Amino acid sequence: LDGKPKQDCDKIKQIPMSASSATKKGEILTQDVLTQLDEAIHKAPCVGLAVDESTDICDNAQLLVYVRFFNTDQKAFCEDLLGVTPLQTSTRGEDIYLAIKRLEPTQVVSIATDGAPAMIGREKGAVARLKEDNPELIAYHSIIHQSVLCAFLSDEHAEVMNTMMKMINFLRASSSTRHRMLREFLREVDANADDLLLHNNVRWLSKGKVLAHFWSTRREVASFWAELRHQKATQFSLFLGNEKQMDNVAFLVDITAHLNELNLRLQGEDNSICELMTTVRSFQKKLELFKEDLQGDCTLTSSAGTGTGTERFDFIDKLIVNFSNRFDSFSFGQQLTMFIQNPFIITDVRGFSEEVTQHLKWMQLVDLQADVSLREQFLRTDPSTFWLQTVPETAFPGLRKVAIYILTMFGSTYNCEAAISTMNIIKNKYRSRL
């Protein structure tokens, strides 16, 4: 405090700094934040939940519940952590249900989960129990999780991927000396990368990044194998010299790059379910283009693969079917997405969709489409701002109600996943014990 005014120093000295005082002040601030959140939630017309469960470093199961709602004071949608609840013993659907009920606001309209059996079990899952209390509750599997589940490799491509992982693990993880030799070799030959990446199947982007990293250094790695004296060197050198296998690797590099791009676009906070579903629909159309491209000149692929095996068509077909099975029958349909994203492109208003007309009075939609001023303002703003700040509630109460209802829904459990990652960083093995 040297050089500070005496009055400031005296004020600082009066602040209680003991451990108990600091703890108490922290608890008071926390309670104040929770009170403000509770008041804002109760003012909201409806609420959406995102729920996920994970185990921390001490083997304690932690249930994270995020809430999304329209803040009537701020005139904007808010996403906030509603609670982190430890599940002391088991993580059955009943345990999760009881934990959610202790936090659940009364006006919940939707819940996004990670798709675990304890969450979505038909009879004893947490969602099934919640629907007994609220039959109108809309429940769905996180869109990000579903997109990842669609991308499982077929037998032949899985075998290629496994061989790749064995080769990389042998170079990187089986011997520190060999790993150092590889890095030095890649630096000497001025390769595009100075090391290879290890694969982690739990991480969504790992597969694509590992493949892309390897592909950029494949020739240098092949040269390194040729100089390496080891019994496995011949086996892996044959793999790298096999044109068909390298074509398969090239194909995997391209397709996983597109899947990673999709995953990154689905990640992030404050993404409405409409935006995520639009991204998924766009990718489904891209898959159709990829299939046509494989039958032609392969102009959409950037890697050097030139093979034309039927397994590639089968793989793309399987992706198309998987995405179709998971998203075409999604509980949140395309018609409502269209209504939120652009209500002015609807032509047959009355017969547009039972899905929409059961929620709103279609006469209001006719009035909205006839309003030239609103149409022009829609072109200059995003859908969320348009519905919340531009469309007058007095003239279109039904339309605004439906828009807020839909925009309240979480599209994924990304917030929960991000919070779990943060929790794992904070609560590491050095901070979890005295």
Nearest by Cα to 84 from 68, 109, 107, 66: 66
Q: How confident is the model at residue 69 (pLDDT cuts 50, 70, 90)?
A: very high
Quick: pLDDT tens for 366-419. Answer: 888 899 999 999 988 888 889 988 989 888 888 888 889 889 999 899 999 999
What pLDDT does 298 receive? Answer: 62
> For residues 260 and 208, what is the distance between their CA atoms, to the nearest angstrom?
7
Structure tokens, 367:
């009035």
> For residues 264 and 260, what is the distance between their CA atoms, to the nearest angstrom?
6
What pLDDT does 431 receive? Answer: 75
φ/ψ of 281, rounded to 5, equals: -60, -40
Mean pLDDT of the chain: 84
Average pLDDT over residues 226-231: 81
Percent of the chain with pLDDT over 90: 16
**26-140 CATH, one of 3.30.420, 2.70.98, 3.30.1450, 3.30.110:** 3.30.420
Among all chains, which residue has been given the structure tokens 């010299």?
Answer: 241
Show Cβ contacts of residue 433 under 8 Å, excluding neighbours closer than 6 positions: none
84 with 63: CB under 8 angstroms?
A: yes
Q: Choose between 271 and 7: higher pLDDT.
A: 271
CATH 3.30.420, the chain: domain bounds:
26-140
Q: Lowest-confidence range among 273-282, 332-341, 415-424?
A: 332-341
Quick: pLDDT tens for 102-145. Answer: 877 778 889 999 888 888 888 788 888 888 888 888 888 889 98
| CA dihedral (322, 324, 326, 327) positive or negative | positive
3-state secondary structure string across the chain: CCCCCHHHHHHHHCCCCCHHHHHHHHHHHHHHHHHHHHHHHHHCCCEEEEEEEEECCCCCEEEEEEEEEEECCCCEEEEEEEEEEEECCCCCHHHHHHHHHHHCCCCEEEEEECCCHHHHCCCCCHHHHHHHHCCCCEEEECHHHHHHHCCCCCHHHHHHHHHHHHHHHHHHCCCHHHHHHHHHHHHHCCCCCCCCCCCCCCCCCHHHHHHHHHHHCHHHHHHHHHHCCCHHHHHHHHHHHCHHHHHHHHHHHHHHHHHHHHHHHHCCCCCEHHHHHHHHHHHHHHHHHHHHHHCCCCCCCCCCCCCCCHHHHHHHHHHHHHHHHHHCCCCCCHHHHHHHHCHHHCCCCCCCCHHHHCCCCHHHHHHHHHCHHHHHHHHCCCHHHHHHHHCCCCCCHHHHHHHHHHHCCECCCHHHHHHHHHHHHHCCCCCCCC
Q: How confident is the model at residue 259 (pLDDT cuts 50, 70, 90)?
A: very high
> For residues 413 and 54, what is the distance between their CA atoms, to the nearest angstrom?
12
Q: How confident is the model at residue 282 (pLDDT cuts 50, 70, 90)?
A: very high
| CA dihedral (195, 200, 201, 205) positive or negative | negative
Q: How confident is the model at residue 304 (pLDDT cuts 50, 70, 90)?
A: very low
> For residues 430 and 208, what is the distance between their CA atoms, to the nearest angstrom?
32
**Highest mean pLDDT: which range of 63-67, 86-90, 309-313, 422-426:** 63-67
Q: How confident is the model at residue 303 (pLDDT cuts 50, 70, 90)?
A: low
Average pLDDT over residues 350-356: 60
Q: In this model, does residue 337 exceed pLDDT 70?
A: yes
> For residues 141 and 331, what is the distance between their CA atoms, to the nearest angstrom?
10
The letter for the amino acid at 3 is G
Q: In this model, does residue 302 exceed pLDDT 70?
A: no
Quick: pLDDT tens for 187-212. Answer: 988 888 888 888 887 788 888 899 99
The CA-CA-CA angle for residues 225, 195, 173, to 5°, reads 70
Structure tokens, 178:
């060999």
Q: Lowest-confidence range among 242-256, 319-333, 402-416?
A: 319-333
Nearest by Cα to 315 from 248, 224, 242: 248
249 with 215: CB under 8 angstroms?
A: yes
What pLDDT does 67 receive? Answer: 92
* Residues, the chain: 434
